């Protein structure tokens, strides 16, 4: 979970007028209106539009790398791009809904709700949560449990199961959100035991009917409670 906290930290460090956010806002308008795929033969494009599409694609790859990282070093290296990808998705969603592109603080709140769960209303609340996660205090038990959930998803991916995308991120987000409501004394009891984690990972192919790639896990209640990335 430390990697997820550091992902959020990248966004927290960006000022509201950061050029990266300005470029993402322009890309969100372009892609929300023109689409991400190849242009039709009758369509048109400029060099700047191609650059924006390429940048969005690069950030999406960073997010996928972050989800599939074999260890914290790889995850941390891709955290910056992954954070910008999540920010872009919130901007793109706003444009598609006909709403103004979120400014920096609102963007932080929206990304935190999607990634961490909970009901954040201010950037200060997001910053306080991330600071606590990084220091290991306050919600230390929470971070350990969410780390285990993310690890389960990634091990499943390495075994050939397509679980490390949207459903996996959503389950981690829901797990974090539900744990925020627990009393600190309950966190130790809520932590998964190593033996139980190993059994759950080993049983995953059976639960999915022999490893079918149909995202069966996304039908769980937790898999539908956060945004799809």
Confidence of residue 63 (pLDDT cuts 50, 70, 90): very high
| Higher-confidence position of 75 and 59 | 59
68-84 pLDDT, tens digit per residue, is 888 888 888 999 999 99
pLDDT at residue 176 in the model? 46
Task: Look over the chain and give the mean of its residue pLDDT values, rounded to a whole number.
Answer: 71
Q: Which two tokens stand for residue 167?
A: 């459903």
pLDDT at residue 172 in the model? 52
pLDDT at residue 83 in the model? 96
Rounded Cα distance, 65 and 183, in Å: 34
| Higher-confidence position of 223 and 34 | 34
Nearest CA among 10, 28, 224, 226 for reference residue 126? 10
Give pairs for 152-155: CB < 8 Å, separation 24+. 152/197, 152/200, 152/201, 152/204, 153/67, 154/67, 154/68, 154/69, 154/70, 155/201
- Answer yes or no: is pLDDT of 92 > 70: yes
Question: How buried is residue 83: exposed, middle or buried, by Cβ count under 10 Å (0-12/13-18/19+)?
Answer: buried
Query: What is the model's pTM?
Result: 0.62
């Amino acid at each position: 979970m430390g990697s997820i906290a550091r992902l959020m930290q990248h966004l927290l460090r960006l000022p509201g007028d950061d050029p990266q956010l300005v470029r993402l806002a322009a890309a969100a308008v372009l892609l929300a209106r023109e689409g991400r795929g190849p242009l039709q033969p009758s369509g048109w494009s400029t060099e700047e539009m191609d650059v924006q599409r390429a940048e969005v694609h690069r950030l999406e790859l960073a997010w996928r790398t972050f989800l599939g990282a074999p260890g914290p070093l790889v995850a941390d290296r891709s955290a910056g791009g992954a954070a910008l990808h999540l920010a872009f998705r919130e901007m793109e969603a706003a444009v598609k809904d006909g709403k103004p592109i979120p400014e920096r603080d609102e963007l932080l709140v929206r990304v935190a709700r999607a990634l961490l769960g909970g009901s954040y209303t201010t950037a200060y609340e997001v910053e306080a949560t991330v600071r606590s996660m990084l220091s290991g205090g306050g919600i230390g038990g929470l971070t350990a449990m969410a780390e285990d959930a993310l690890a389960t998803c990634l091990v499943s991916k390495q075994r050939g199961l397509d679980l490390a995308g949207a459903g996996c991120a959503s389950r981690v987000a829901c797990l974090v959100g539900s744990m925020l409501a627990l009393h600190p004394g309950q966190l130790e009891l809520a932590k998964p035991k190593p033996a139980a984690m190993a059994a759950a990972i080993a049983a995953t192919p059976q639960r999915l009917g022999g490893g079918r790639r149909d995202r069966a896990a996304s039908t769980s209640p937790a898999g539908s409670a956060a945004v799809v990335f």
